[in-house]
């Protein structure tokens, strides 16, 4: 079974609008972390936001926020006020276990295209 599922292969959003990228996860470990990375066409992976399984508040970083619904096992990324530079692949990832080190398990990604 897939541990990280991103059901949207591609998404379009109008510039300055908000967009939600979906991510569901599967784990039986009570302690885990959820990550979102952005991958522009150049290839590097850029860390965007992190949510710990015990965090009470949803994570926010500037225009990025993570809509964490633990019971539904979902960790959707919300990008507000989309910009042309937001066009990229977006990957959701999970790390299981309580330690700070561990392997990241990635979803297959969502390609976001921002229209002017």
Q: Which residues bind another protein (CB under 8 A)?
A: 4, 33, 35, 37, 42-47, 50, 91, 93, 100-101, 103-104, 106-109
Of 40, 64, 63, which is closest to residue 50 (Cα–Cα)? 64
Residue 101 or 116 having the CB closest to another protein:
101
Of 55, 52, 56, 58, which is closest to residue 96 (Cα–Cα)? 52
Residue 64 or 106 having the CB closest to another protein:
106
Least distance (Å) between residue 68 CB and another protein: 15
Residue 50 or 64 having the CB closest to another protein:
50
> Which residues are 67's β-sheet partners?
76
Least distance (Å) between residue 108 CB and another protein: 5
Exposed, middle or buried by CB within 10 Å (0-12, 13-18, 19+), for 32? buried
Cα-to-chain-centroid distance, residue 57: 16
Least distance (Å) between residue 6 CB and another protein: 8
Residue 16 or 108 having the CB closest to another protein:
108
Answer for the pair 94, 70: CB distance below 8 angstroms, yes or no.
no
């Amino acid at each position: 079974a897939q541990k990280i599922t991103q059901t949207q292969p591609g998404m379009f959003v109008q510039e300055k609008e908000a967009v939600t990228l979906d991510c569901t996860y599967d784990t039986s470990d009570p302690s885990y972390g959820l990550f979102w990375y952005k991958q522009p066409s150049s290839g590097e992976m850029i860390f965007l936001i992190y949510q710990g399984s015990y965090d009470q508040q949803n994570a926010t970083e500037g225009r990025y926020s993570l809509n964490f619904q633990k019971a539904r096992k979902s960790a959707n990324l919300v990008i507000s006020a989309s910009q042309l530079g937001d066009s990229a692949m977006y990957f959701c990832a999970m790390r299981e276990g309580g330690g700070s080190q561990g392997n990241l398990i990635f979803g297959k990604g969502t390609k976001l295209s921002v229209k002017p």
